[in-house]
């Protein structure tokens, strides 16, 4: 048997039927087609970062600008809407049955303070993947993914 992946890390992963989160799902409303052109995406990302980060003092306009930069133009804003609208839990549910067949060790890491994807969703995902181990990380949220992985790999 050829093994392409030795271990799988899922960090705050959207899965099963809990996606997209309400903040993203609302963008499917056609009124956003015109409204998005008036929106300051930096302010929008600032708000999402404030909601999603545990350490609020780390939220900065510089970080929000980096998130927003690919979407600043009119075409970029349209692309942002297309991407958000393409997210559909039916896509993840199509493979839900297959998750039980994952045999490689799977680590599912979740920030205890994740305001977008609650810990309960991570636990639910872990129950579906038989080869998984579920780990919560104190004082972390969805926006600290790289930090969580670095802590684990030490």
State the residue range of the domain holding 144.
Answer: 1-19+89-154
pLDDT digits (tens, 9 = 90+) for 38-68: 999 999 999 988 888 888 888 899 999 999 9
Contact 140, 112 (CB under 8 A): yes
The reported pLDDT for the residue numbered 151 is 62
Q: Let me know whether 112 and 144 are in one domain.
A: yes
**Number of domains within the chain:** 2
Query: Could you tell me which residue, 154 or 30, shows the higher pLDDT?
Result: 30
Q: How far is CA 77 from CA 42, 73, 83, 144, in A?
A: 12, 6, 10, 25
Q: Are residues 59 and 95 in the same domain?
A: no
Mean predicted confidence (pLDDT) in 113-135: 90
Range of weakest confidence among 4-8, 15-19, 30-34: 4-8
Give 114's pLDDT tier (boundaries 50, 70, 90): confident
Judgement on whether residues 48 and 35 belong to the same structural domain of the protein: yes
- What is the spatial distance between Cα 12 and Cα 63, in angstroms, rounded to a whole number? 20
Residue spans of beta strands (DSSP E) within 22-118: 106-111
* pLDDT score of 55: 81
- In this prediction, residue 98 carries a pLDDT of 92
């Amino acid at each position: 048997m050829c093994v392409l992946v030795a271990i799988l890390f899922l960090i705050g992963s959207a899965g099963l039927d809990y996606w997209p989160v309400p903040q993203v799902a609302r963008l499917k409303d056609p009124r956003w087609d015109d409204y998005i052109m008036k929106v300051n995406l930096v302010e929008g990302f600032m708000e999402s970062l404030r909601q999603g980060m545990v350490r609020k003092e780390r939220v900065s306009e510089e970080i929000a600008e980096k998130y927003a930069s690919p979407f600043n133009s009119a075409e970029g804003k349209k692309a942002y809407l297309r991407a958000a609208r393409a997210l559909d839990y039916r896509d993840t549910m199509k493979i839900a049955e297959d998750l039980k067949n994952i045999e490689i060790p799977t680590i599912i890491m979740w920030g205890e303070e994740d305001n977008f994807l609650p810990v309960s969703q991570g636990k639910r995902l872990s129950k579906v993947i038989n080869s998984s181990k579920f780990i919560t990380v104190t004082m972390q949220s969805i926006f600290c993914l790289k930090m969580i992985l670095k802590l684990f790999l030490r």
